[in-house]
């Protein structure tokens, strides 16, 4: 169904976040969309466990004082000769790179937490069971991402850096938004 501006599919039908009564409508149970079934099943084929060292071994040693986590050419600031020169002369290059990586990984960690809460919030508003199962499944996947990034940050630095104000406001807005399109685009 199209209204001239947007295409609307019944699987994106949504209710208000506090309207649980609508979930109990009897006709809803027999009207489950199968649009997401392949993606949901694929989770089992691509399963991974951040708590199992066979997937990621967080105990692998790394000397944060002497080993840079990224090569120079992947750190944009080091493309400025003055910066590179100064850091090499003062022996601070490794420290600088690893601190930049901490800020990046902290942002990713906060973003993964946002994705977890956003996916969970989609479960409350999506009306179609298939879409809801997809969101629940995605919530589980994002929870694994949070676990993995939190464990990595803990292993290398001990503690993440705070979420930037702009990212934080975006996450707060889309997680709290009652409109399903804002959540989906946000995700
Ligand atoms: Fe994620």
**80 CA from centroid of ligand 1 (Å):** 32
Task: Please compute, for residue 16, the number of CA atoms within 13 A of its CA located in the half-sphere on the CB side.
Answer: 3
Count CB neighbours of 87 within 10 A: 19
Centroid of ligand 1 to alpha carbon of 9 (angstroms): 25
Dist. CA 112 → ligand 1 center (Å): 5
Q: How many CB atoms lie within 10 A of CB 118?
A: 23
> How many residues appear in the chain?
187
Centre of ligand 1 from the C-alpha of residue 2, in Å: 31
Tens digits of residue pLDDT in 41-56? 998 888 899 999 999 9
2-55 pLDDT per residue, tens = 456 666 666 678 999 999 999 999 999 999 999 999 999 998 888 899 999 999
Tell me what pLDDT residue 138 has: 94
Structural domain boundaries in the chain: 10-186
* CA 105 to ligand 1 center in whole angstroms: 12
């Amino acid at each position: 169904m199209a209204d001239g501006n947007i295409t609307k599919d019944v699987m994106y039908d949504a209710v208000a976040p506090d309207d649980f009564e609508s979930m109990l409508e009897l006709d809803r149970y027999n009207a489950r969309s199968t649009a997401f079934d392949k993606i949901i099943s694929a989770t089992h084929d691509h399963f991974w466990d951040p708590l199992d060292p066979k997937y990621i071994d967080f105990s692998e040693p790394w000397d944060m004082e002497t080993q840079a986590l990224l090569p120079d050419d992947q750190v944009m600031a080091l493309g400025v000769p003055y910066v590179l020169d100064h850091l090499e002369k003062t022996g601070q290059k490794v420290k600088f790179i690893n601190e930049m990586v901490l800020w990046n990984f902290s942002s990713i960690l906060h973003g993964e937490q946002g994705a977890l809460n956003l996916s969970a919030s989609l479960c409350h508003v999506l009306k179609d069971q298939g879409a809801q199962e997809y969101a629940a499944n995605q919530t589980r996947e994002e929870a694994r991402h949070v676990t993995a990034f939190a464990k990595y940050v803990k292993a290398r630095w001990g503690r993440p850096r705070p979420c930037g104000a702009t990212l934080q406001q975006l996450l707060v807005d889309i997680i709290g938004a009652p409109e399903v399109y804002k959540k989906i685009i946000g995700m």
